Amino acid sequence: MANYLLDTNTASYIIKGNIPAVHRRLLRVPMNQVFISSITEGELRYGVAKRPAAVKLQHLVEEFLLRLTVLPWDSDAAKEYGHLRADLERLGQPMGNLDMMIGSHALAAGAILVTNDRVFGRIKKLKVEDWTV
């Protein structure tokens, strides 16, 4: 039984409802197997904070966050991050810090990362699924 960690882009597609393929795939997975990282929660809340007049968006984000488990950033994720960042720097393949943190969190949780962001392909140990196709 696989667990899935939604990247911020996938969470955003679900919240906005603008990619039907993502919604159809989500309906086939038990919600107790779907998570987001606390890093993704922060990114979603940042998006809302940038648009204080977007009351509907704020409501949609809050409803989304009530429906699934948010995994807290922990020591295991931090260890994965440290190794990942050092490895990517050594290979000359940098990534954004938040992406590295989300990828590390998926590794630490033993989860499949759901994203359509190809940058995550740089993390060789990471299992990735694209639900937009």
Supply the CATH number for residue 59's domain.
3.40.50.1010
What is the 3 state secondary structure string of 57-89? HHHHHHHHHHCCEEECCCHHHHHHHHHHHHHHH
**What is the pLDDT at residue 19?**
96
With a cut of 90, say whether residue 1 has pLDDT above it: no
What pLDDT digit, counting tens, does each position of 30-49 carry?
A: 999 999 999 999 999 999 99
What pLDDT digit, counting tens, does each position of 50-100 carry?
A: 998 889 999 999 999 999 999 999 999 999 999 999 999 999 999 999 999
- Number of domain units in the chain: 1
pTM of the model: 0.96
Alpha helix ranges (H) inside the chain: 8-16, 20-27, 38-49, 55-66, 75-91, 97-109
Q: Please give the average per-residue pLDDT across 105-126, as a whole number.
A: 98
Supply the range of the domain harboring residue 30: 4-129
